[in-house]
Amino acid sequence: MNQLSLNLIAITIFALVLSSLLGPLVHLSPAVPAIAIATILGLGTIDTWSFQGQGRALLLDSLARFSPDHRDRVIRHEAGHFLAAQLLDIPVTGYTLSAWEAWRQGQAGAGGVSFDTEALEAEIAGGTLSTQTIDRLCTVWMAGVAAEDWVYGNTEGGGDDRAKLGLLWQQLRRPATEAQLKARWAMLQAKTLLEANQSAYDALVEAMQNRQPIQDCVAIVTRLTSPV
């Protein structure tokens, strides 16, 4: 859960508690905050089960439009995924930078970089997933938080990325503690890749800010980097 989500939850809880405390002073029925809480919980449940959380993502995205810093962080996070994937030969097929962009393209969630994972999924299904492939996947997944940490000195996003790594570890039937160690290792690997290709990363961030087509972004990375 990112900082914006936490802030929104905190504000909602504060407003409901305040209305309960001040309600008697302004002759507000106790039923009002109770109904509000029930409504919020009901809408949240419907959104989670019926729309896979898309409604929440769209709401948070609407609020994020008023925060240039948040928008910039999202772009730099996704550029980290994009650059690492291209360097590690995992083809990028597209990108969206907000829940609204993802929704317009028929995708669930808050947006992000899309990969061609057909070959990787075939390896997983066939039980032939190599250590090298696992390392590549984990590095790409952790490249977003690596980019945030590199640029800002802290991270806010990346919950979904860590969840993907954890799910892979469950499928491989490996200990959860090992997944945490792998996540740290992959983050360091990704950060090293980004630092070694800073010019490509900076150019990619600018291109994504301008919503340049996927083929132009790929061309920028190809021109300014060498395969790992």
Q: What residues pair up with 114 in beta bridges, in sequence order?
A: 94
Q: Per the confidence metrics, is the pTM higher than 0.85? A: no
| DSSP conformation class of 211 | T
CB 70 within 8 A of CB 210: no
Percent of the chain exceeding pLDDT 90 equals: 42
Task: Please state the rounded mean pLDDT for residues 33-56.
Answer: 50
pLDDT computed for residue 1 by the predictor? 46
Asked if the model's pLDDT at residue 219 lies above 60, the reply is yes
CB 161 within 8 A of CB 145: yes
| DSSP result, 141-210 | HHHHHHHHHHHHSS----HHHHHHHHHHHHHTT--HHHHHHHHHHHHHHHHHHHHHTHHHHHHHHHHHHT
Cα–Cα separations (whole angstroms), residue 33 to 27, 44, 82: 13, 16, 45
Asked if the model's pLDDT at residue 202 lies above 50, the reply is yes
Asked if the model's pLDDT at residue 54 lies above 50, the reply is no
CB 193 within 8 A of CB 228: yes
190 or 5: whose pLDDT is higher?
Answer: 190
Looking at every residue in the chain, the average pLDDT score rounds to 78
Domains of the chain: 3-51 (no CATH), 68-224 (1.20.58.760)
Tell me which amino acid residue 164 is: K
